[in-house]
Amino acid sequence: MTANAAGVAARAAEVRSGRLAWGSMAAEALEAQGAWEQGAAPLNAFIALGPHADRQRRPRDGPLAGIPVAVKDNLVTGGFPTTCGSRILEGFRSPYEATAVRRLRRAGAVIVGKTNMDEFAMGSSTENSAFGPTRNPWHRERVPGGSSGGSAAAVAAGIVPVALGSDTGGSVRQPASFCGVVGIKPTYGRVSRYGLVAFASSLDQVGALGRTVRDAATLLEVVSGHDPRDATSVNRPVPPLAAACERGVRGLVVGVPREYFPSGLDPVVGRLAERALRALEGAGAELRDVSLPHTRYAIPAYYIIAPAEASSNLARYDGVRFGRRCRDADSTERLYELSRSEGFGTEVKRRILLGTYALSAGYYDAYYGRAQEARAAVARDFERTFRDGVDVLFTPTSPTPAFRLGERIHDPYRMYLSDVFTVTANLAGVPALSVPIGLAEGLPVGGQLMAAHWREDTLLTAAAALEAELGTVGSPPVPSGAGTA
């Protein structure tokens, strides 16, 4: 049992009381990371590591005192480069730090590294990274999911107990599901986006990953709260989230939306979801069949809105002020053209083109306008369901367990469908979480919980109950040669 395997709250308490040295867990994390890089199939969860963690001059107490935390590489972080998994941000070091990262440090955490991701968070497998794919620690020929695949893999591998990710259409929950960890996307506006490199601003939200529900809750509680630097961050109190894990689900109404259990669902995933529902029922929750009829519009709406916003958000990577700059350009137009052609990967280019098209004069109403209508309809589905007395919705997180590396990378449409159950929460802005509900042939499967705006506490209550009833999925086998056994 490593120090990292116990709950972060307990470990932080040991650091605060002086029983555990402040930098010791970070040192162990770096050692474990090294072990996972051995052999023919390195994990490749990190883009950058902070080997001098103990030099950080930060508060050494707080709720995360001494806890090693990994940060997705789209949150600008002092002392580290920020690449977003893209060549276009090669060598970029931000002169300022993201609010969420600042809050981590203020809580005493040690930032041990920046995690791998699909370029600009566009992808569901972490294969779209300029720094090579991350592998799934449960099965090295499988993807860890994405786009926060590096963060999910680092937590699943036991390198760090908690990590920050970001979730635009499922990018925290789907990799959490594939890697057998807990991942939560809070309500839109709960965590500041200041310093989160934008993909699709109206959908992006910083999320927390942890080995347990409680760890994820502890991390989320630290980074939540109003930030005057983000006009979309909302000024309302953060309820005690770690404490919500204790409440129990007796009397809780769990909605089961039929649209999330289609006939094409992987049968193992279906069986595990069924088992999870029985477990909730056994713990005293009331199950209720519900319908969210506009769910089928979610993927098409998402793949208009997200690329549209991305096409504008990514315009700033033009080679003029920072990041990659083509040296051979002989005019401003060529500078843009060459820097962007060389700097962006295929999927990013695809989405910029899609988004530019969707916003073009003459097409705006037919695409962007209608997508916004669909988005509003999806949001109304949720509002109605929660108004009618449903406390939390339960669905599978993804239709399948982790797929093979290379399996979908050349089939964007199939890749997009791995987010079919997760994009709705982003479109509606509601909080959602993925919690492990079992193993399918050695691969973790996650169950998704969704609640009304600002009810992260309800999500955590239900997730903690599932975790208690089903037990954790355990850890993947630690690679040989690792000194942390």
Partner 1 sequence: MKDSPLEAVIGLEVHVQLDTGRKLFCADSTAFGAPPNTAVCPVCLGLPGALPVLDAGAVDLALRAALALECTIHPISVFARKNYFYPDLPKGYQISQFERPLATRGAVELDNGRRVRIRRVHMEEDAGKSLHDRFASATAVDLNRTGTPLIEIVSEPDLRSPGEARSCLQHLKRLMEYLGISDCNMEEGNLRVDANVSLRKRGSERLEASTEVKNLNSFSAVEKALGVEIKRQTRIRAEGGAVTRQTLLWDAAGGNVRVMRDKEDSQDYRYFPDPDLPPLVLSAARVASLRAGLGELPRAKHERFRRQYGLPAYDADVLTSSRPLADYYEAVVACGRQPKTVSNWVMGPVLKTVKRGIADLSSPGLAPGRLAELLVLVDEGTLSATAAKTVLAGMARTGDPPGVIVRREGLMQVREDQVLARWVTDVVTAHPEEVARYRDGETRLLGFLMGQVMRASGRKADPRRVNQLLRAALDADAG
Rounded-to-integer distance, Cα 37 and Cα 31, Å: 10
Structure tokens at 154: 């680092």
d(C-alpha 208, C-alpha 183), whole Å: 6
Q: How many residues does the chain have?
A: 485
Between residues 22 and 367, which has the closer beta carbon with respect to partner 1?
Answer: 367
**Rounded Cα–Cα distance for residues 460 and 184 (Å):** 9
- Least distance in angstroms from the C-beta of 117 to partner 1: 14
CA angle 460, 296, 286 (to 5 degrees): 35
The CB-side HSE value for 143 (13 A sphere, CA atoms) comes to 31
Nearer CB in complex with partner 1: 214/340: 340
Q: Which of 72, 125, 148, 311 is catalytic?
A: 72
**What is the rounded CA–CA span in Å between residue 41 and residue 215?**
29
SS3 content of the chain, % helix, strand, coil (to 5): 40, 15, 45
Instruction: Check residue 422 and give left, alpha or beta (phi > 0: left; psi -120 to 50: alpha).
Output: alpha
Among 151, 171, 192, 339, which one carries the catalytic annotation?
171
Structure tokens at 345: 């990967």
Q: How far is the CB of 95 from partner 1 (least distance, A)?
A: 7
- In whole angstroms, the minimum distance from the beta carbon of 87 to partner 1 comes to 14
Question: Closer CB to partner 1, residue 10 or residue 361?
Answer: 361
**CA 301 to CA 324: how far, in whole Å?**
32
Told to judge if 114 belongs to the known catalytic residues of this protein, a careful annotator would answer no
Of 309 and 391, the one with the shorter C-beta distance to partner 1 is 309
Strand ranges (E), 235-317: 253-257, 286-290
Annotated active-site residue 72? The verdict is yes
Closest approach, Cβ 464 to partner 1, in A, equals: 32
Phi, psi (rounded to 5 degrees) for 331: -155, 165
Q: Which is nearer to partner 1, 95 or 251 (CB)?
A: 95
Is residue 171 annotated as a catalytic residue, yes or no?
yes
Q: Which is nearer to partner 1, 4 or 147 (CB)?
A: 147
Q: Which of 86, 147, 233, 434 is catalytic?
A: 147
In degrees and rounded to multiples of 5, residue 220 shows phi and psi of -60, -40
- Least distance CB 468 / partner 1 (angstroms): 38
Residues that bind partner 1 (CB under 8 A): 74-76, 82, 84, 89, 92, 94-96, 98, 193-198, 200-202, 228-232, 308-309, 311-312, 314-316, 318, 320-322, 332, 336, 356, 359-361, 364, 368
The minimum distance between CB 205 and partner 1, in angstroms, equals: 12
Give me the active site residues, please.
72, 147, 171
